[in-house]
Structure 1
Amino acid sequence: MRRVDAYHALTVVAPGIADRFRPGHFVTVAVGGPRTSTLTRRAFAVHDVKPDYGGTVELVFTVRGAGTAWLADRRARDPLDLIGPLGRPFPLPRDPASCLLVGSEYGAAGLFALADALQQRNCRVDFVLGAASSDRVFGALRARRMAETATLTTRDGSLGVRGSVVDVLPGVIADTHADVVYACGPMATLGGVTAVCAEFGIPVQVSVEELMACGIGLCMTCTVPVIGDDGVTRMTRACVDGPVFRGERVRFDDVGTIPFDAHGAPGGDRAR
């Protein structure tokens, strides 16, 4: 366990997960110990994997409650119960492309393995990273080292441009001639990023942040309204059908609700 500014970074030896990991995958971790009353797992995006060092997986998180507080207290050689890799990973371009990676807060942690994979395919990589304050911008130094450009934003103006990642996105897309955008962060940020990409007519892949209890598609707590290839909205499970979706397919304004026109919605047939 180590501190990275305002966050905790936890490295776990998990060779089976490291071998099968693809950028965009996540893992779930049992918290509280063997006698805890905390039954649900916590889901975390994978920041980095190192197959050559015994198969390690690094997770980045912030303490939000009893479960993550327990996790932050783990020490070297403490056993952890992990399941993964889970979910659908990011699709990668078949040919070299200009790729813009947008991350907010510690949601940006999942973008760095993606950047490595894109560069291995000779893609150009640029970053836009943001947060409320300088200590909450994750990976700024690494982004500057590995990318063509790294634009940083903070809402309080303590680092980079004052504002949000959405505020600077149009200018960065124009400057970098981005062919595709990949984004991680809160739903409101992802909705804003998707709207900007629609204005520019470029595709965007988003990794959604939704609360997950099981992580394997059983509990239905992480459903998101997503428009299918047939034009029909369905309540789609972020854990198994995502967490990566085409941004324009996610109905961000309706997240947290069941739209009246969604397949199977109460009264939906009458409404149609």
Structure 2
Amino acid sequence: MTGTVLTTRRVDAYHALTVVAPGIAEHLRPGHFVAVAVGGPRSSMLTRRSFSVHDVKPDYGGTVELVFAVRGPGTSWLAERRARDTLDVVGPLGRPFPLPRDPVNCVLVGGDYGSATLFGLADALQRRGCRVDFVIGAESAERVFGALRARRMGETTTLTTEDGSLGMRGKVTDVLPGVIADVRADVVYACGPMETLRGVTAVAIEFDIPVQVSVEEAMACGFGVCMTCVLPVIGEDGITRMVRACVDGPVFRGERVRFEDVGTIPFDAAGAPGAPSASTSPASAGGGGGPRNVS
């Protein structure tokens, strides 16, 4: 749909842009994403840019807020939009985060602007009676998104920066084991850079608790046509398939994503030369993630 820009603002190292898009806001769930056309009608930038959603207000005109970092010409153009400009937006796309049926203790882990997508999830979990604790981190203080909001929403909030400029020095994976143990977590949700998701998944496996990760993959179309966002994921039948993050995710069960093989086609993946024959269906590889805005 064609959405109208309501507000734009800088949030430390990031840009936040609110768009009036009632049809999208009405149906959007935590973990969904949107794809935005960039450059204007005469632009040579043909592919859309995909973004996680920070905030959605279906009851107040139907708005969605996107948070992104400027990485190239597409996001530079988007950062220059002003109130009353229009945007061509497609959404909601992808599979959202699965929510527990019963109240459980949830740890939400965010890296860089990946934490933006966790606040709608936190709200949905709290409406179900779940306890929510945050672990948020980045390289430096200006790249930590949502620290104040996390402190207001969560039972506890642990902040980390690699340079020690905010919170504890280190990475989110350094403090995550202690948080899981202290709050007796039942499940971990995470969104951020792929290396962060890999580390978070390893910690959750060590504690033998489920982990849902919203993967960061470059998405050129957002709805499964271009095949730019494929990654190896293990299905429930134990067979690895190259699945599309935009339609089969972007949220997956962390232990099923072969993080060490992202960017490659593993030799044992279905369809790879010499691999065992198998259906190319995702076979319930995941459940409901965070697209990466790369340019």
TM-based fold match above 0.5: yes
Aligned pair count? 270
> Which runs of structure 2 are paired with 1:24-103 in the superposition (5 Å)?
24-103=31-110
1:204 is aligned to 2:199: no
Name the SS for the 2:87 alignment partner: coil
1:5 offset after TM fit, Å? 1.1
Q: Which runs of 5+ in 1 are unaligned?
A: none
**Structure 2 partner of 1:238:** 245
1:269 offset after TM fit, Å? 4.2
2-side partners of 1:72 and 1:15: how far apart?
22
1:121 is aligned to 2:157: no
**Structure 1 partner of 2:201:** 194
1-side partners of 2:222 and 2:86: how far apart?
20
1:256 offset after TM fit, Å? 0.4
Cα deviations across residues 125-172 of structure 1 (Å, max 9, x unaligned)?
A: 000000000011000000001110000000000000100001111001
**Structure 1 partner of 2:256:** 249
Report the aligned-residue RMSD: 0.8
TM-score by length of 1: 0.98
1:268 offset after TM fit, Å? 2.2
1:184 is aligned to 2:216: no
Name the SS for the 1:196 alignment partner: helix
1:267 offset after TM fit, Å? 2.9
Name the SS for the 1:257 alignment partner: coil
Paired residue type of 1:9: A
Name the SS for the 1:102 alignment partner: strand
**Structure 2 partner of 1:139:** 146
2-side partners of 1:266 and 1:137: how far apart?
43
Name the SS for the 1:112 alignment partner: helix
Paired residue type of 1:192: G
Runs of 4+ in 1 over 4 A off after TM superposition: none
Paired residue type of 2:138: A
Paired residue type of 1:84: G
1:165 is aligned to 2:172: yes
1:52 offset after TM fit, Å? 1.6
**Structure 2 partner of 1:225:** 232
Q: Which of residues 160, 163, 171 in structure 2 aligns to 1:156? A: 163
TM-score by length of 2: 0.91
Q: Which runs of 5+ in 2 are unaligned?
A: 1-7, 278-295
2-side partners of 1:133 and 1:269: how far apart?
46
Name the SS for the 1:100 alignment partner: strand
2-side partners of 1:166 and 1:98: how far apart?
18
Greater RCO (Cα-Cα under 8 Å, separation 6 or more):
2
2-side partners of 1:235 and 1:269: how far apart?
14
Name the SS for the 1:142 alignment partner: helix
Name the SS for the 1:80 alignment partner: strand
2-side partners of 1:243 and 1:110: how far apart?
12
**Structure 2 partner of 1:111:** 118
Q: Percent identity?
A: 79
